[in-house]
Structure 1
């Protein structure tokens, strides 16, 4: 596998993103605490908005933008001053959403920061895609990276339509949920997924397996928009949407086949990676296979209808993608790139604790979403989910400390 050392600018932005991940986990603990003991003056919905928006912006968008910039682009392009400025714009607007949402919900300042965040992302997308096309990277990497950023740009339609509905006092719950599902799909199955595989394919070799990577990239990108229609099956849509959903489901099946082919082609290369990074990366790829299979199953009405109205199962799926797939892959990539040069043990222990808490969280959410099978008191789930949130906080705190200690030691 191709390996590149972590530069100073990249290292600083990754450290900031990892601290933000810890803040996201802290908000998760607060939300789980509020479910047990209602906290005075805490509006659950508004704090949930802060939690999700900061997870998307302050953690994943900032981190993925940083990795895409400093991993995929040669120094002649990644060294431009515009990139740190755009990353700063993403960070500042994300912090603005973190501060404004708890006190206002969707109101003036939170909408302003959300809009500015989207504008920063759009500017980044245009500049990055232009530089990437000039850089002459492998075609599979280029396709995945461009597809990820196009998905991110399109996902803005969801929040903008929600803002339009609120401004006009529309109460159509079908359109509201479809707008939310559109946004989440293009973020999770578009931007996050394609960006991760752009980074993954960039580090792969040899060139003889490039055709395998390209075939996988083509079908993965092609599946994004058709698979989005699977999210609309919960309200008995017209035949056209059902046909598009069927096409999306078929493409997801091909994605799994191409993914298996890709996994076989890189199996030998992964043995050269250090054991912890290899195992965490393997867990991330397993999470991808699970989330794709789960998404494919929603084509069946009995499953799709049950899942789309089952809050614990939806949260389980979202955590599987954001934490089990994307975050674990980023952890593996950072270990592989030698990011944790001085605090490897602390970072590794934090990641292991994070994984244990994540698995515990997913199992509990699955059980909570199946009350007909698992007949446990609600208090058991609430306390168990609080413990898993605390474990995620402890794990991310250890990783963030390991990342920031590098700069304190240099000082």
Structure 2
């Protein structure tokens, strides 16, 4: 498929993620014996990563760099994205019906390998990039993807060997999540944002400084997800320093975001303005929560209660990453929206924030072992709202224009 088609398909895969989310929420509150909840959860999270977020990111990375990519380079990258997309579909189906097994793992590994081939090929093209500071974000995103893959193979080894402990399983899981969320997703998104600033000829003197704060802190920041392991003092100090560096990094980043020219450009599109407010707001909350998690007592509470973990994961994946990518596509890729689609996009964003608020309340209540009345029903309604909005906001009649090409 061509890059425009791949971008479209990646966006529409959000609908599949939403469908799986609705079924999961329904299963929690009501009888649905035909569905295996654990399998559905694996399919939901796996496809959100590989079928939606990664496909959209890789497509946008190609589309934003069309001017200096050769036809053969574009073709190779399109093939890798297409193969990764195909693998994501098969893995999703396999997980739904059979769970974690040989069939699903084969296609999950295949998808990872295609992504790795894409990243290697894309990084090789970055010597052509006119802004080396922006190119560094893409390079770091790719490197952190490779680092996250180590955990995937370790989890697969534990699955088939039976050589698994609670600590090793959680450590590998959090390793994968950290370097996907805070590495691959985050650095790719911020790289895309700086790419847009470059195209707008907006001064980005703080680009390199901002990058260094986040890049230096990313690896030690994994410790924020492993404080429950009772780390030695020197390692704990390193983790705290990484959290402080990320706080400084986000301050630098927001000083760029609040540049008058950036604000004026974003304000020209009300939908983009709303999505960026929510997305960057979620980023700020994420950084502050990470800083707070350096307090051992709070860290043990957070990682000891599943609702809090779920709320945090949705904060990063949906509220920051998904809303950013949707906003960025609207801002740069020339989508033609009907009035209904524009309204649906706003509604989707509002439901995302509502979902996060309810999950947050549920998580806080779980600390005192309190049950919030009708919380599961509320989350089901919100999930249904997100599903409906996701369908309406991306009708098949929309065409992706050529603003980036």
Tell me if 1:123 matches 2:117. yes
Is the Cα contact below 8 Å between 2:301 and 2:367 reproduced in 1? no
Is the Cα contact below 8 Å between 2:6 and 2:82 reproduced in 1? no
Residues 116 and 276 (structure 1 numbering): CA distance in 2 closer, same or farther, change over 3 Å? same
Partner of 2:360: 366
- Once the 2 structures are TM-superposed, how far is the Cα of residue 291 of structure 1 from its aligned partner? 0.8
Distance 1:363 1:374 in 2: 18
Tell me if 1:243 matches 2:237. yes
Tell me if 1:285 matches 2:280. yes
Distance 1:374 1:393 in 2: 32
Is the Cα contact below 8 Å between 1:145 and 1:194 reproduced in 2? yes
Give secondary structure in 2 for the equivalent of 1:271.
helix
Please list the CA deviations of residues 345-399 of structure 1 after superposition, one character each: whole Å capped at 9, or x if unmatched.
Answer: 2321121111121122111111111227899755511101101110110111112
Q: 2:32 aligns with which of 35, 39, 43?
A: 39
Partner of 1:5: none
Q: 1:108 aligns with which of 98, 102, 110?
A: 102
Partner of 1:394: 388
Partner of 1:159: 152
- Please give the residue correspondences for 1:300-315 in structure 2 after superposition, counting only pairs within 5 Å: 300-315=295-310
Give secondary structure in 2 for the equivalent of 1:137.
coil
- Once the 2 structures are TM-superposed, how far is the Cα of residue 269 of structure 1 from its aligned partner? 2.6
Distance 2:156 2:262 in 1: 47
- Once the 2 structures are TM-superposed, how far is the Cα of residue 222 of structure 1 from its aligned partner? 1.5
- Please give the residue correspondences for 1:176-195 in structure 2 after superposition, counting only pairs within 5 Å: 176-195=169-188
Moved over 4 A (4+): 205-208, 372-379
Distance 2:366 2:93 in 1: 40
Distance 1:374 1:242 in 2: 27
> Structure 2, unaligned stretches of length 5 or more?
401-405
Is the Cα contact below 8 Å between 2:283 and 2:316 reproduced in 1? yes
- Please give the residue correspondences for 1:253-264 in structure 2 after superposition, counting only pairs within 5 Å: 253-264=247-258
Tell me if 1:232 matches 2:210. no
Please list the CA deviations of residues 201-221 of structure 1 after superposition, one character each: whole Å capped at 9, or x if unmatched.
Answer: 011157673321221112112
Is the Cα contact below 8 Å between 2:283 and 2:320 reproduced in 1? yes
RMSD: 2.1
Residues 72 and 407 (structure 1 numbering): CA distance in 2 closer, same or farther, change over 3 Å? closer
Q: 1:54 aligns with which of 47, 51, 55?
A: 47
Partner of 1:298: 293
Tell me if 1:382 matches 2:367. no
> Structure 1, unaligned stretches of length 5 or more?
1-7
Distance 1:152 1:137 in 2: 24
Partner of 1:3: none
Tell me if 1:15 matches 2:2. no
Give secondary structure in 1 for the equivalent of 2:74.
coil
Q: 1:26 aligns with which of 13, 19, 22?
A: 19
Distance 2:59 2:367 in 1: 44
Is the Cα contact below 8 Å between 1:368 and 1:374 reproduced in 2? no
- Once the 2 structures are TM-superposed, how far is the Cα of residue 73 of structure 1 from its aligned partner? 4.3
Distance 2:31 2:174 in 1: 28
* TM-score (structure 1 length as normaliser): 0.91
Aligned residues: 396
- Once the 2 structures are TM-superposed, how far is the Cα of residue 270 of structure 1 from its aligned partner? 2.5
Is the Cα contact below 8 Å between 1:43 and 1:102 reproduced in 2? yes
Distance 1:373 1:49 in 2: 26
Residues 243 and 19 (structure 1 numbering): CA distance in 2 closer, same or farther, change over 3 Å? same
Distance 1:247 1:74 in 2: 40
Distance 2:317 2:122 in 1: 23
Partner of 1:213: 207
Give secondary structure in 1 for the equivalent of 2:219.
helix
Residues 241 and 200 (structure 1 numbering): CA distance in 2 closer, same or farther, change over 3 Å? same
